Amino acid sequence: DIQMTQSPSSLSASVGDSVTITCRASQNILKFLHWYQVTPGKAPKLLVYTTSNLQTGVPPRFSGSGSGTQYTLTVNSLQPEDFATYYCQQSYSTPITFGGGTRVEVK
Amino acid sequence: EGQLVESGGVLVQPGRSLRLSCAASGFTFDDYAIHWVRQTPGKGLEWVAGISRNSVEIAYADSVKGRFTTYRDNVNNSLFLQMNRLGPEDTALYYCVKGRVAAVANGLDIWGHGTMVVVSS
């Protein structure tokens, strides 16, 4: 199985800050990497698919990049609604696996 | 945009069985893979199972293989998860999720609101 390691596990930031979350795969996943936002009480939301493609309706302050085993999600100019937990997910092979999550908290 | 509504979650004793259901609407159900993903209280997301558009490809997480079975009814736009030999580690909020494409291995773009399963004596 492919292991997905996210870092940091949590971070503190203020509205207007930029943050970057990293996801490392245990093997090359050929950009089959997706990012989700989870907010308490709401269904998880797909933000970015296949490394860098923004899902319809997601604001352009979110962006993804990476290749091989290293991938990043960047959120520019954090908004109040962006304080949430973010997960990466690989779909290079089954079983599909998620990272452990990164909680973005208010500083 | 599509919608997925899960049902069937309850409090159940260890060792018992349970079947979850998912009703889909608002998209062409038999064009896409559908998945089950669970979230345990205070922990992260865990993919449980996925089934391709025509049920040719079905895959499971190692933690449920041999105990859980997923199947779909493309006539009635429904997905099911039969869970046997349940244990406390299966306690979670179970989401029904639409895949972005027909095959199992891809991103997940429409999520239901989940149904809660609690396994406890």
Kindly report, residue by residue over B74-102, the tens digit of the pLDDT.
999 999 999 999 999 999 999 999 999 88
Structural contact between residues A71 and A52, judged by C-beta atoms closer than 8 angstroms: no
pLDDT digits (tens, 9 = 90+) for B52-70: 999 999 999 999 999 999 9
CB spacing of B44 vs A89 below 8 angstroms = no
Predicted confidence at residue B104, as pLDDT, reads: 81
pLDDT digits (tens, 9 = 90+) for A38-48: 999 899 999 99
Res B10 pLDDT > 80: yes
Q: Kindly list the averaged pLDDT for each block of 10 residues, start to end, along chain A of length 107.
A: 97 97 98 96 95 96 98 97 97 96 96
pLDDT digits (tens, 9 = 90+) for B20-42: 999 999 999 999 999 999 999 77
Structure tokens at B2: 């599509």
Predicted confidence at residue B103, as pLDDT, reads: 84
Give the nearest partner residue to A97 out of B47, B100, B104, using CB atoms: B47
Give the nearest partner residue to B105 out of A36, A45, A92, using CB atoms: A92
Predicted confidence at residue B1, as pLDDT, reads: 82
Q: Which of B1, B96, B111, B116 to mutate to test the interface with A (most CBs of A within 10 A)?
A: B111
Predicted confidence at residue B109, as pLDDT, reads: 94
- Rounded (to 5) percent helix, strand, coil in chain A: 5, 50, 50
Predicted confidence at residue B12, as pLDDT, reads: 97
Structural contact between residues B111 and A37, judged by C-beta atoms closer than 8 angstroms: no
Res B120 pLDDT > 90: yes
What is chain B's length? 121
Give the nearest partner residue to A95 out of B45, B59, B114, using CB atoms: B59
Q: What does the alpha-carbon distance between residue A98 and residue A95 come to, in Å, rounded to a whole number?
A: 10
Those of residues 14-33 in B touching chain A at CB distance below 8 A are: none
CA B98 to chain centre: 10
Q: What does the alpha-carbon distance between residue B52 and residue B33 come to, in Å, rounded to a whole number?
A: 4
